[in-house]
Amino acid sequence: MSAVPESSERTQPPLSAEGYLVEMRDISVSFGGVHAVNDVTINLRPGEVLGLVGGNGAGKSTLMKVLSGAQVPDSGQILIGGTAASIHNPRDARTYGIECIYQTLALADNLDAPANVFLGRELVQRTGVLDDPAMEDATRRLMKRLNPRFENFRSAVESLSGGQRQSVAIARAIQFNATILIMDEPTAALGPAETAQVRDLIRQLKTEGLGIFLISHDIHDVFDLADRISVMYHGRIVDTVDKDQVTTDEILGMIILGKKPGDATREELDAFRIAG
């Protein structure tokens, strides 16, 4: 029935020979003549947070839409645990353990937390009747782990705070044994306390062995949470670097100039410093 995996019983997902959970190879997506994503290769290990940064229209969200099945790529290959995956829609993605937490939250505001957590995958009794108590119970147990102060299990989520709504969205993502999490601006709509709460949550999911793609405009979010950072610029990856080996300035430079620190000219760097 309601299988809420405790952290210890989370099944280990298969990995590729190099230890990758996900490999996206040579992915391209174009809209009309515009290359939204241009020949991008990116990968993710279990227990790793990969920060995806870049200006507006750099292609971060489109790249992640490809992984979550919301966008079919023109070319390229996705490998999950070392084997080729065919992802054509969100349902496909889910069968590979990929869950997405969208910028706009994607909750049904008129329903309560359990109904949202189990949206599209409702638990039913043998007679086909919804098993609301079981769904509420599973949600309560999940929330005890994610957000112990959460207690509004029977009111419509529209009446909840931003942070509480975000925990409902995250609960929904991890309820079904997700191994790969895509978070698109998870703290964009939140206040400082709620942001801290969500950051704690991400750290916890990381220790449980999930691989997380984190899209964020907030460079502090990224530096706080990510192990590696990929910078995108006009549909391409500028560079993927270990967080410990870069400074925020270097990342900002890559976001704005679209070049690695070594490749930028004196003038460009000076201009950037003045602008920054």
Can you give the binding site for other proteins, defined by CB under 8 A?
Answer: 70, 90-91, 94, 100, 102, 104-111, 115, 119-122, 124, 128-130, 133-134, 136-137, 140-141, 144, 158-159, 172
Smallest distance, other proteins to C-beta of residue 115, A: 6
Contact call for residues 110 and 102 (beta carbons, < 8 A): no
Structure tokens belonging to residue 10:
């989370």
Phi (first) and psi of residue 227, to 5 degrees? -90, -40
Residue closer to other proteins (CB basis): 7 or 247: 7
Kind and range of the H or E run holding 30: strand 22-31
**How far is the CA of 173 from the CAs of 54, 94, 166, 167, 271, in angstroms?**
25, 10, 11, 10, 42
Identity of the residue numbered 176: F
Smallest distance, other proteins to C-beta of residue 66, A: 15
**3-class state of residue 238 by DSSP:** strand
Q: Are strands 75-80 and 83-85 parallel, antiparallel or unpaired?
A: antiparallel
CA separation for the pair 142, 34 (Å, rounded) = 42
Smallest distance, other proteins to C-beta of residue 205, A: 20
Residue closer to other proteins (CB basis): 142 or 254: 142
Structure tokens belonging to residue 168:
């409902």
Residue closer to other proteins (CB basis): 70 or 196: 70
Smallest distance, other proteins to C-beta of residue 120, A: 4
Residue closer to other proteins (CB basis): 84 or 124: 124
Smallest distance, other proteins to C-beta of residue 235, A: 24
Residue closer to other proteins (CB basis): 91 or 273: 91
Instruction: Give the bridge partners for 260, in sequence order.
Output: none
Smallest distance, other proteins to C-beta of residue 174, A: 14
CA separation for the pair 46, 65 (Å, rounded) = 20
Smallest distance, other proteins to C-beta of residue 237, A: 26
**3-class state of residue 82 by DSSP:** coil
Smallest distance, other proteins to C-beta of residue 244, A: 35
Residue closer to other proteins (CB basis): 113 or 257: 113
Structure tokens belonging to residue 137:
């119970």
**How far is the CA of 249 from the CAs of 52, 246, 253, 254, 275, in angstroms?**
16, 8, 6, 9, 12
Residue closer to other proteins (CB basis): 134 or 188: 134
Residue closer to other proteins (CB basis): 68 or 230: 68
Structure tokens belonging to residue 120:
């599209």
